[in-house]
Chain A
């Protein structure tokens, strides 16, 4: 439940940062699908977590040290919202300038996604495809094996 609210907040932040496409995706994916998946997993496994017997001091130290190093690293970064930051100087002005006559769709994100970076998106779709096949292999087979006694020996080795 909290993760759904968390995603909705993230989506609101993305709208505020002028990333409407991303906000749209985050709202539908985060608040919809991944919350469902999380609940499904909790229903299939267990709701209760074992209370840890020791204080996690070492992880805390590691996290604080890493965080300090990362924040020190941000001191040289371009300021938030700075239009002269390096990220805005390269490639993107060309996209925005030439896109109307090269592709002619108003939404720059769609044009870059589908046309300029078509290979990238093809790779991403392949990853999604592979993940879907993986879940199908891991969880989809149970139904067919049921008469054989998978359920009787539910704790046996993975077949």
Chain B
């Protein structure tokens, strides 16, 4: 893949938009179609594009495996932790109404946070899976 200049340039041009679109889907999920699951997959797809064009070694430098592994757990912990935060503030587990001043604002905040947790876990898991498959030698 070393001499494919067109591929390299186009991929470099495309990548920021892919990642930006993933973030848009992530944080616009309350209003239009989208949410953590889709955003995570799109974000991971951006990394997969990078890996295919620039090779696994470079991709591992961008997204080191230990960091990705931490993110896999961090997203889930963020989700579960939001539930615990609700309990500590006097509500039920995973009831977001108590997280902010008014119930509606609390729900909004809660949905935002857990969608982010979902997105992080999904993206990290997909990147992990792809790196595992790509790093395997026949």
A and B held together in a complex: yes
Interface residues, chain A, with chain B CB atoms under 8 Å away:
20-21, 23-25, 28-29, 32-33, 36-37, 40-41, 43-44, 101-107, 109-111, 113-115, 118-119, 121-122, 125-126, 128-129, 131-133, 135-136, 138-140, 142-143, 151
Given contacts A36-B130, A103-B104, contact A128 B38 (CB under 8 A): no
Per DSSP, are chain B's interface residues mostly helix, strand or loop, or mixed? Answer: helix
What does DSSP make chain A's interface, helix, strand, loop or mixed? helix
A135 → B minimal CB distance (Å)? 5
A36-B130, A106-B30, A119-B94 known; 6 new pairs, CB 8 Å cut-off, are A103-B108, A107-B29, A115-B111, A118-B83, A140-B131, A142-B136
Q: Interface of B with A (CB < 8 Å)?
A: 25, 29-35, 37-38, 41-42, 44-45, 48, 65, 69, 72-73, 75-76, 79-80, 83, 94, 96, 103-104, 107-108, 110-111, 114-115, 117-118, 121-122, 124-126, 128-138
| Chain A residues positioned under 8 Å from B104 (CB to CB) | 101-104
User: Within 8 Å CB of B32, what residues of A?
Assistant: 107
Query: Nearest Cβ in chain B — how far from A159, in angstroms?
Result: 15
- Take A118-B83, A125-B121 as given contacts and tell me if A44 and B138 are in contact as well, using a CB distance cutoff of 8 Å: yes
Contacts of B96 in A (CB 8 A): 115
Instruction: Check A122/B107 contact, CB under 8 A, given A28-B42, A132-B128.
Output: no
Closest to A25 in B: B38
Other-chain residue from A24, A33, A132 in contact with B33 (beta carbon distance below 8 A):
A24
Q: Across the interface, do B41 and A122 meet the contact criterion of CB distance under 8 Å?
A: no
Q: Which residues of A contact B48 (CB under 8 A)?
A: 32-33, 36
- Which has the most chain A C-beta neighbours within 10 Å: B30, B31, B132? B132
B45, A33: Cβ atoms closer than 8 Å = yes
Whole-angstrom CA separation of A29 from B38 in the bound complex: 8
**Complex contacts, A101 vs chain B, CB 8 Å:** 104
- Residues in chain B near residue A111, CB distance under 8 A: 30, 111
